[in-house]
Structure 1
């Protein structure tokens, strides 16, 4: 029997048999035209499943220009959220007060620059992290708890702080390149689970031969 169930809303069952209701597979609870989410990516929060999109990205309205793109096997801890481009206020003039949003006919600032926010695959975003507009987070990266991510994060980097900075790289550059080329997250689930020991133990030779 597979470890993962792609169709589950709540993918975690505790050892006593209780379904853990705070963790959801994003793809199965989010129906939003500006969000693209890969399989097995999960988010933990205390709201209802139908509230997930609003909690995850509170400023990403249905009519905005930017997108939030989240890859496969992403792990997003409780309290973390994305501030997307439409949350920005005008900053070119002498005031940042968003006068136009208070009248339907003038709502929005279509002249403000927007950029998609993109999270790669197998990214771990720790508790209470804030991801700012337009950030690109590479596959395999780790974002420490309570970080404020204001700039792009390279693949397999560990970042933390406010603003978040690189603490270390998880592996040497040549290994990172090889892991990105292997792209295990694109394998069929049965192949991933058959070679889970290689992934968990950091057995690169095993992954090469899989």
Structure 2
């Protein structure tokens, strides 16, 4: 057995609330890795609705790695949500035209945080919110209902509003080794042969693969 077919939208037979969303996302600025799933009993295929303020003219990307577990109701706030903040009012008068377009800000006046990048093997809990330009490292865990306003290091658990570090999952030397091994980049045959070592916590065994 070499695991589920990554091209199968619903890899769990009779359980459509789990979806490998690489097969359903159509926006070219949303990039999803193999085996990353979204769990939503209402409509697991429509993951795009969770990516907010990502208009057709937006250039920023949402990049999510492989083997991520994404819970229902998570939201990614993209850069087009931002308003100019350097003046006395943040109200977007210009979008309503009718003479108000005269205060159209220059593009450099909008806060821009860059692409939002989620690593591999990341678990994002129920109804969490990820703000624009956030980078979440491989192996991180985002607790349910967290609001992530700053980058999250690999193999770190964060939670709360704003999200704070709860703990690092493993000592730093083990984290460094796991990042070097990067099992998620192995071919699926090798991953399937070594599942017991991947889900365990024996670094020597994983290194021996």
Question: Normalization by structure 2: what TM-score?
Answer: 0.91
Aligned to 1:71: 65
Q: Offset of 1:110 from its aligned partner?
A: 2.4
Aligned to 1:160: 159
Contact 1:34 1:62 in 2 (8 A): no
Aligned to 1:11: 11
Q: Offset of 1:52 from its aligned partner?
A: 2.0
Deviations 1:128-161 (A, max 9, x none): 1000111100000000000000000000000000
Find the aligned partners of 1:36 and 1:103 in 2 and give their Cα distance: 34
Q: Match of 2:107, SS?
A: coil
Structure 2 unaligned runs (5+)? Answer: none
Contact 1:101 1:108 in 2 (8 A): no
Inter-CA distance 156–10: structure 2 relative to 1 (3 Å threshold): same
Q: Which moved more, 1:130-139 or 1:61-70?
A: 61-70
Q: Offset of 1:70 from its aligned partner?
A: 0.6
Alpha-carbon RMSD across the aligned residues, in angstroms, is: 1.9
Find the aligned partners of 1:110 and 1:22 in 2 and give their Cα distance: 40
Instruction: Choose which of 26, 30, 33 in structure 2 pairs with 1:35.
Output: 30
Aligned to 2:134: 135
Inter-CA distance 133–2: structure 2 relative to 1 (3 Å threshold): same
Instruction: Choose which of 39, 47, 66 in structure 1 pairs with 2:43.
Output: 47
Find the aligned partners of 1:110 and 1:11 in 2 and give their Cα distance: 43
Between the two proteins, the alignment pairs up a number of residues equal to: 203
Find the aligned partners of 2:194 and 2:93 in 1 and give their Cα distance: 56
Q: Offset of 1:203 from its aligned partner?
A: 2.1
Deviations 1:26-80 (A, max 9, x none): 210001121111111111232362x321x22021122202111111111110011
* 2:185 matches 1:201: no
Provide runs of 4+ in structure 1 moved above 6 Å.
none
Structure 1 unaligned runs (5+)? Answer: none
Inter-CA distance 166–48: structure 2 relative to 1 (3 Å threshold): closer
Question: Normalization by structure 1: what TM-score?
Answer: 0.90
